[in-house]
Amino acid sequence: MKVSVLGATGYAGAELLRLLYSHPEAQVVHITSESHTGEKIDSLYPHLSGLYNMQLESMKEIESIGRDSDFVFIGLPHGHAMKVGQELENLPVRIIDLGADYRFDDTEVYEAWYHVPHTHKDAPRVYGLAELYRDKIRDAKIIGNAGCFTTASILALAPLAKEHLIEVNTIIVDAKSGVSGAGRGAKVPNHFPELYDNFRAYNACKHRHTPEIEQAMTDLSGEETIINFTPHLVPMSRGILSTCYATLKPGVTTEMVNEAFDKLYGEEHFIRLRGLGAYPSTKEVRGSNYCDLGWHVDERTKRVIVMSAIDNLVKGAAGQAVQNFNIACGFDEKTGLDMVPMYP
Amino acid sequence: MKVSVLGATGYAGAELLRLLYSHPEAQVVHITSESHTGEKIDSLYPHLSGLYNMQLESMKEIESIGRDSDFVFIGLPHGHAMKVGQELENLPVRIIDLGADYRFDDTEVYEAWYHVPHTHKDAPRVYGLAELYRDKIRDAKIIGNAGCFTTASILALAPLAKEHLIEVNTIIVDAKSGVSGAGRGAKVPNHFPELYDNFRAYNACKHRHTPEIEQAMTDLSGEETIINFTPHLVPMSRGILSTCYATLKPGVTTEMVNEAFDKLYGEEHFIRLRGLGAYPSTKEVRGSNYCDLGWHVDERTKRVIVMSAIDNLVKGAAGQAVQNFNIACGFDEKTGLDMVPMYP
Amino acid sequence: MKVSVLGATGYAGAELLRLLYSHPEAQVVHITSESHTGEKIDSLYPHLSGLYNMQLESMKEIESIGRDSDFVFIGLPHGHAMKVGQELENLPVRIIDLGADYRFDDTEVYEAWYHVPHTHKDAPRVYGLAELYRDKIRDAKIIGNAGCFTTASILALAPLAKEHLIEVNTIIVDAKSGVSGAGRGAKVPNHFPELYDNFRAYNACKHRHTPEIEQAMTDLSGEETIINFTPHLVPMSRGILSTCYATLKPGVTTEMVNEAFDKLYGEEHFIRLRGLGAYPSTKEVRGSNYCDLGWHVDERTKRVIVMSAIDNLVKGAAGQAVQNFNIACGFDEKTGLDMVPMYP
Amino acid sequence: MKVSVLGATGYAGAELLRLLYSHPEAQVVHITSESHTGEKIDSLYPHLSGLYNMQLESMKEIESIGRDSDFVFIGLPHGHAMKVGQELENLPVRIIDLGADYRFDDTEVYEAWYHVPHTHKDAPRVYGLAELYRDKIRDAKIIGNAGCFTTASILALAPLAKEHLIEVNTIIVDAKSGVSGAGRGAKVPNHFPELYDNFRAYNACKHRHTPEIEQAMTDLSGEETIINFTPHLVPMSRGILSTCYATLKPGVTTEMVNEAFDKLYGEEHFIRLRGLGAYPSTKEVRGSNYCDLGWHVDERTKRVIVMSAIDNLVKGAAGQAVQNFNIACGFDEKTGLDMVPMYP
């Protein structure tokens, strides 16, 4: 398959290039960047030296890029993908957007949280969280790849919501991410000396991944859900750990919790059930497409705590995009993604 | 005042030596270590070269140490301080224990969580969280210095509990600590390559700081409280950030929350009210005795989120011990502690 | 090919398992550990969960392991491999030792620096630095895989020594390594809080990689060489940067330096000539088998400075072992090693 | 003494504020920033909350600032201080410049390396490396505070150069710095994910601290000296380790090396002679004004290796400025600087 990457100079774009290099069925034909048009990708990312000898193009020729490609991956800030989606609407090319434009069923929710009008409301799109929405992904024209925090958090909570084991409106997600999640744009708060040996939260109560988790919880549980989501910045490059709290419904036992995880994920390759009492860690999934899950039931407070570890750039972005690509192409889902995490 | 430090070779002990060096009213007369008796402290901690030319002694001569000292600081694992406390019971020396032995009013709670019998149940002790229990500390024989996570968490929640603004049984504390909190003992899980670029939780539902927070919440609110407390390990040396969640009681407004913080802490030197919407960070208090507080009110979920940042070795251990020492001696509380955090 | 890994629980052993998992021609049949015999490898390294469901065996059954295997990789401390080498001498199995036992032509040098008698002096061995000794590796019974610092340093200096462009006795190698190079054994100096936000040297003038570099320089230049080698510990997990200084011979020009690199490495896949004036960085090769080289000619002092970046666990250990395995088997050298470095 | 800080929003400026806060003889009267004029300093540096309630002013009113101040500290990029120096020439205020403008006796050297014309060539200035030029500092109008790398490197080599124990033209300085040395300006190469778990060199053969070291070596040894200086970036916030190599002159013994250090530094408070065979580390001096020195003599190569550790923001910038201030005021040199390094 011929694939192109729009916005190849961001971290998610560069990670896509890493993964696609080893994908036996994909050939990268175009890469774009508006601020670096004409430059070689390895001048911006020397780790690609000798591996990608490609020049960055402008997106202005999007139609011709679309014509050359079976799939277009979009790694642009929100607001841009919906324009691309419209421009490529009548070409056979399919789209996997790593941004937020195509993640919401209800575009009013998007507009309320992203503060821009949605201009492609009737797009033929599906939510790209592979393990939960695989069937819809298969034939989708446009796949709205799930966000990084949301992938970790929804995968952690889905079995409990789906089996109605928790009071969904007690959900609190306390999430922690490495700094690559904030992108490659240099600014003082993410300047090395500011974050090193430092830890803090940001965007409490207003992070845009909140409604994305709520949408999935509502969908899975059948109950209108609102939650608290608090992201934190960990002084490390990669990785997300999501610590998710919820009150168990009366009568729910630890066995029922265990069974819910087994039932939903027992056959999933990329979800590793580390089990009751386990503490997944971000380094144990680093560089891979795995989501590791551990959970704890507190008999005193009747709460369940689920911990979920992913690599934000792989399962939280580029890896899931490739997984969705595999599903959409009918390939084995592991194609190009069957690697061991890099430890230590 | 003549002071001695038992267990001077742990991180909290070494930090005490750092702070006491600059304290105009304290002179360190004895330092002890059972595993390094006879060695010079600067052979174990070269950063003390030229500053402390003292030899480590054994605690076997505790009575003579007690006779020489006005105050004894104890930086030993739990279980040891209660023996020391009994042996020094009849000497005029006063004790500040940085461990857990003297933190609980109800020694059965101690026994249930620490799995050892308490052998000094009738000790004349007070809980050493300076801002909340200052009056009792003044004349105490034995001060049970508050724990690191607990100091951060109790200070975050105290105004809300005391003013009855929150449902105390909805409290969830998601806490994150630098690795110095785990002590200086080398073991694989805290080996550098294992933790670097890594993040994980530990001891969910069973960390021993849980009942200490519950004791304070129960005391302040007048309601029997049980909570969830989940500690995490951040790949950094120092610092704790505690993210505390609770549901507001009906009718509680943001203004009432703001006022509760002002009322309790408006005059406190070591508590910096960074305010509504603020994100305190661990580096902004590094090396200092400050506790920085920021809070957020979620109008959608009716929850309040308080974030609290301390240096675990200062306000969470040695600094608070010196603050308690100042209170107990009638000195200005800032004596020896009035320094600027080290940033960046 | 059937391969076994002796000492699979060290970092180099675990990295071998990572690389061999993706190697299409290798099947791991035995893994050993004396201290963890009987345990599952993924209980020690949870990042391998679901990928290696193997039990650790004891080396006591070395003959039977040797009989089952086409190749044995040895990741044991020095002194152990020579025993294994002798015990497997008469079996057809071939050996790749990641330790030092088979690296020296002159076993007296080994004995002088390692302080143990060499008990397998007549072993049919070759020095396993793939780019320089490829021809000998092809048919070797025993391959003494080059050390991590030495791989980086020798590759940096080889073109200059071989073309007689430098005064070899002016060579100074100032090398810096991530902490995984020190192994997984927990000890206070490598405890997380001790190294984080810290930097220091160790083993100046006496590190055991010194004579290994000297052996290669002597061999390549034809002049008896002694050098200074100073290793440093960088607060990071992986990676080596070697900064190598030497005085140019009279009349040597920058062009001659450039040409020497092109001549020796122009066709090498795993050596990336980043060129004159370039600054290779460890992250740009992380997780990969690349060695990136940049060099600088100081017109004022007539010195050349070569900088070399590798991943100490890949090109400095497990990756080079697989590369040597490929050479020894007649496979394409890139087999199982053709991956993009993980950045950021 | 009334002091002002020009350029208070850089890391060196902020560190000056930290140190001056605890200085019993200094009162900060003005702080300036052109890009943040009118803002409160603690809005830019929240760690100063409650400690400095001052507004940043513009330097446009430099004369009035100069009139109000006994001392002006300058923390501006090179090129600016010489203008300030001229404008304050006729006021009694004295100047301590943390930049490079006043560091060179020969302004042509400055112009050659800094690529700007020097406009204050006849300034009454001294080189502000306290331990070596104390006598001249006492009465200086303008003190050109030594650079960070240069302080570490010159202090390491001075005893050997002064006693003529080394061939000065064999000096190679391989230096490593934490990222705060690059300032607070955000740019991609110093963006957190780019540097974390990464290590590289920069500005080999052309870093501007080279001629500053050469000037001192020439002065101390009486021989015209040119050296190699290679800086590296360590993924940490603070600290410099300088590894300095030189060939011993014929007949020089280890004892003579030891004695040279004792002779020059035996009485120096801020230089800690960790001794022959020692490995000073940056964390052991973190936050303090100490320079720790260890040295090694290689009997095989007849080279001496001196390692020097400082905190780049303290002894390498703000701390040395305060030390120079103390000298210039006739105070005890330790005033405001007598603190224990922060470890771990």
| Contacting residues of A for B236, CB less than 8 Å apart | 196-199, 235
Q: Do D199 and C281 touch (CB under 8 A)?
A: yes
Nearest to C241 by CA among C297, C300, C175, C188: C175
- Residues of A annotated as catalytic are 148
| Encoded amino acid at D140, one letter | A
Domains and CATH numbers, chain C: 2-123 (3.40.50.720), 149-311 (3.30.360.10)
Task: Collect the ranges in chain A with pLDDT lower than 50.
Answer: none
Q: In the block, which residue shows the tokens 């910096």?
A: B272
In tens, the pLDDT along C57-85 reads: 999 999 999 999 999 999 999 999 999 99
pLDDT of residue A196: 98
Residue A22 is nearest to which of C18, C281, C339, comparing CB atoms? C339
Q: Do B200 and A226 touch (CB under 8 A)?
A: no
pLDDT of residue A207: 97
| Contacting residues of B for A307, CB less than 8 Å apart | 200-201, 204
Residue D188 is nearest to which of A180, A184, A196, comparing CB atoms? A184
A228, closest residue in chain B (CA to CA): B301
Residue D204 is nearest to which of C286, C296, C344, comparing CB atoms? C296
Residue-wise DSSP of D172-187? EEEEEE-GGGG-S---
Mutate to test the interface with A, among B109, B166, B188, B200 (most CBs of A within 10 A): B200
Cα separation, A177 vs A252, whole angstroms: 31
The torsion angles phi and psi of A32, rounded to 5 degrees, stand at -130, 155
In tens, the pLDDT along C175-186 reads: 999 999 999 999
Residue A89: exposed, middle, or buried by beta-carbon count in 10 A (0-12, 13-18, 19+)?
A: middle
Q: Do D344 and B11 touch (CB under 8 A)?
A: yes
H or E stretch covering A159:
helix A148-162
Cβ atoms of C39 and C46 within 8 Å: the answer is no
| Contacting residues of C for A40, CB less than 8 Å apart | none
Cα separation, D98 vs D88, whole angstroms: 16
Q: Do B340 and D51 touch (CB under 8 A)?
A: yes
pLDDT of residue D33: 98
pLDDT of residue C344: 97
Cα distances (Å, whole numbers) of residue B123 to A65, B64, B292, B317, C247: 79, 21, 33, 21, 73
DSSP A251: T
H or E stretch covering D137:
helix D130-137
Using DSSP's 3-state secondary structure scheme, residue A226 falls into: coil
In tens, the pLDDT along C110-166 reads: 999 999 999 999 999 999 999 999 999 999 999 999 999 999 999 999 999 999 999
DSSP A146: P
Q: At what angle do helices D130-137 and D319-329 cross, to 10 degrees?
A: 30
D191, closest residue in chain A (CA to CA): A191
| Contacting residues of B for C235, CB less than 8 Å apart | 192, 196
Helical segments of chain C, H only: 11-21, 41-44, 62-68, 81-87, 107-114, 130-137, 148-162, 192-195, 210-221, 254-265, 319-329
Q: Do B192 and C11 touch (CB under 8 A)?
A: no
B148 is catalytic: yes
Q: Do D191 and A196 touch (CB under 8 A)?
A: no
Cα separation, D201 vs D187, whole angstroms: 17
In tens, the pLDDT along D143-176 reads: 999 999 999 999 999 999 999 999 999 999 999 9
| Encoded amino acid at C190, one letter | N
The torsion angles phi and psi of B252, rounded to 5 degrees, stand at -75, 130
| Helix (H), strand (E), coil (C) string for chain B | CEEEEECCCCHHHHHHHHHHHCCCCCEEEEEECCCCCCCEHHHHCHHHCCCCCCECECHHHHHHHHHHCCEEEECCCCCCHHHHHHHCCCCCCEEEECCCCCCCCCHHHHHHHHCCCCCCCCCCEEEECHHHHHHHHCCCCEEEECCHHHHHHHHHHHHHHHCCCECHHHCEEEEEECHHHHCCCCCHHHEHHHHCCCCEECCCCCCCCHHHHHHHHHHHHCCCCCCEEEEEECCCCCCEEEEEEEEECCCCCHHHHHHHHHHHHCCCCCEEEEEECCCCCHHHHCCCCCEEEEEEEECCCCEEEEEEEECCCHHHHHHHHHHHHHHHHCCCCCCCCCCCCCCC
D193, closest residue in chain C (CA to CA): C344
B307, closest residue in chain A (CA to CA): A201
Mutate to test the interface with D, among C109, C173, C199 (most CBs of D within 10 A): C199
Residues D208-221, mean pLDDT to the nearest whole number:
98
Q: Where are the beta strands (DSSP E) in chain C?
A: 2-6, 27-32, 71-74, 94-97, 125-128, 142-145, 172-177, 200-201, 228-233, 240-247, 271-276, 291-298, 303-310
Query: pLDDT tier at C97 (50, 70, 90 boundaries)?
Result: very high
CA distance C275 to chain A (A): 12
Cα separation, B4 vs B95, whole angstroms: 10
pLDDT of residue C293: 98
Q: Do D343 and B45 touch (CB under 8 A)?
A: yes
In tens, the pLDDT along D34-79 reads: 999 999 999 999 999 999 999 999 999 999 999 999 999 999 999 9
| Contacting residues of A for D177, CB less than 8 Å apart | none
In tens, the pLDDT along C8-38 reads: 999 999 999 999 999 999 999 999 999 999 9
Residues D199-227, mean pLDDT to the nearest whole number:
98
- Residues of D annotated as catalytic are 148
Cα maximum dimension of chain C = 63
Cβ atoms of B298 and B243 within 8 Å: the answer is no
In tens, the pLDDT along C278-303 reads: 999 999 999 999 999 999 999 999 99
Cα separation, D340 vs D344, whole angstroms: 12
Q: Do B46 and D274 touch (CB under 8 A)?
A: yes
Q: Do A279 and B309 touch (CB under 8 A)?
A: no
Residues C237-244, mean pLDDT to the nearest whole number:
98
Residues D101-111, mean pLDDT to the nearest whole number:
98
Q: Do C196 and B11 touch (CB under 8 A)?
A: no
Residue B237 is nearest to which of C185, C190, C197, comparing CB atoms? C197
Q: State both tokens at C298.
A: 């100081």
pLDDT of residue B20: 98
Cα separation, C39 vs A24, whole angstroms: 36
Cα separation, A8 vs A20, whole angstroms: 12
In sequence order, which residues have a C-beta less than 8 Å from that of residue C1 and are 6 or more positions away? C25, C26, C27, C70, C71, C325, C329
Cβ atoms of C68 and C30 within 8 Å: the answer is yes
Per-residue b/e over A48-65, b at no fewer than 16 CB within 10 Å? bbbbbebebbebeebeeb
B191, closest residue in chain C (CA to CA): C191
pLDDT of residue D188: 97
pLDDT of residue C48: 98
**Which residues of chain A approach chain C closer than 8 Å at the C-beta?**
11, 14, 17-18, 21-22, 45-51, 180, 196-197, 237-238, 269, 272, 274, 280-281, 283-287, 292, 338-344
| Contacting residues of B for C184, CB less than 8 Å apart | 188, 191, 193-194
Cα separation, D32 vs D75, whole angstroms: 10
* Neighbour order of strands in the sheet with D71-74: D27-32, D2-6, D71-74, D94-97, D142-145, D125-128
In this structure, how many other beta carbons lie within 10 angstroms of the beta carbon of residue A302? 14
In sequence order, which residues have a C-beta less than 8 Å from that of residue C235 and are 6 or more positions away? B192, B196, C179, C195, C196, C197, C198, C199, D234, D235, D236
Cα distances (Å, whole numbers) of residue C30 to A232, C41, C57, C117: 42, 11, 7, 29
Mutate to test the interface with A, among D9, D177, D192, D312 (most CBs of A within 10 A): D192
Mutate to test the interface with B, among A167, A170, A173, A174 (most CBs of B within 10 A): A174
Cα separation, B64 vs D80, whole angstroms: 62
In tens, the pLDDT along A170-227 reads: 999 999 999 999 999 999 999 999 999 999 999 999 999 999 999 999 999 999 999 9
| CA atoms within a 13 Å half-sphere pointing along the CA-CB vector of B198 | 26
Helical segments of D144-300, H only: 148-162, 192-195, 210-221, 254-265
pLDDT of residue A290: 98
**Which residues on adjacent β-strands are paired with residue B295?**
B276, B306
In tens, the pLDDT along C257-273 reads: 999 999 999 999 999 99
CA distance A178 to chain D (A): 8
H or E stretch covering D143:
strand D142-145
| Contacting residues of D for A235, CB less than 8 Å apart | 192, 196
B225, closest residue in chain A (CA to CA): A301
| CA atoms within a 13 Å half-sphere pointing along the CA-CB vector of D175 | 36
Cβ atoms of A145 and A321 within 8 Å: the answer is yes
pLDDT of residue D214: 98
Task: Collect the ranges in chain B with pLDDT lower than 50.
Answer: none
| Contacting residues of A for D238, CB less than 8 Å apart | 193
| Contacting residues of C for D309, CB less than 8 Å apart | 200
